[in-house]
Amino acid sequence: MTAKKQRIYLIRHGETEFNRLGIFRGRYEVELNDNGRSQAGETGTALKDEDISFILSGPHGRTTETARIVAGELGIDYRIDEAFNNIALGKWQGLEKEKVKREFPEMWKIWISDAEQLKLPGGESVEEVRQRATKRLFEVVAEEDANFAIVTHRSVIKGLAASMLGVAAPYFWKFYIDNAAYSVFENDGTRFVLLSWNNNTHLTRRVIETF
């Protein structure tokens, strides 16, 4: 890690219709809705004075579009990084949460109580997401001195936050993150410090999404 203080901004992608309708996304491709695009612009405006040098984005359209809009507001570049892709949810992807609750009751109980212990057939575990995203984050921190942002998904942000703060499992449901909200961490060369979490006061409209 660098000895110079460095800030890392974790930004959740803007709103999609699946967020509004309570549908699991995972690796399912769903674009931002109009409010999500507005939220991305609001986030970019909120971060204009934060001296962010570059943005990394997960590969899905909802993250890349959020990153493009935020980067445009800041006058900087963004690039796609597969390590910050969303969790793969197998058969749950594209299903309404109420349907999952009915058709997969035992797995749903694990999901809402101890998400780290759940791995869906054809999907990933929360821990696998945390490990791959954290590995890449630490590589970027070692390579770069500048402040930077990562535009990604709530499953990735929760894992990164747990790794940076040393929060042991079960951690997944201890963190709440709004669409297009951002959180700020500082790296002083020896540790990561949480400066602010789930900054959302810049958002005109938002959806509360619990599970």
Q: Give, for all 211 residues of the chain, the pLDDT tens digit.
A: 445 799 999 999 999 999 999 999 999 999 999 999 999 999 999 999 999 999 999 999 999 999 999 999 999 999 999 999 999 999 999 999 999 999 999 999 999 999 999 989 899 999 999 999 999 999 999 999 999 999 999 999 999 999 999 999 999 999 999 999 999 999 998 999 999 999 999 999 998 988 8
**In this structure, is residue 205 part of a structural domain?**
no
Q: Specify the number of domains making up the chain.
A: 1
**In this structure, is residue 35 part of a structural domain?**
yes
**In this structure, is residue 209 part of a structural domain?**
no
CA-to-CA distance for 104 and 92, rounded, in angstroms? 9
Contact 105, 97 (CB under 8 A): no
What is the structure's pLDDT at 210? 82
- CB count, 10 Å around CB of 67? 26
Contact 66, 129 (CB under 8 A): no
Q: Quick one: angle between helices 126-143 and 154-165, nearest 10?
A: 70
What is the structure's pLDDT at 2? 41
Q: CATH number of the domain that 119 lies in?
A: 3.40.50.1240
**In this structure, is residue 190 part of a structural domain?**
yes
**In this structure, is residue 53 part of a structural domain?**
yes
**In this structure, is residue 152 part of a structural domain?**
yes
Which residue range(s) make up the domain with 125? Answer: 6-199
Nearest to 206 by CA among 180, 170, 184, 182: 180
Q: Residue 110: CB partners within 8 Å, gap ≥ 6?
A: 117, 118
**In this structure, is residue 1 part of a structural domain?**
no
CA-to-CA distance for 115 and 110, rounded, in angstroms? 6
**In this structure, is residue 77 part of a structural domain?**
yes
CA-to-CA distance for 24 and 95, rounded, in angstroms? 6
pTM comes to 0.96
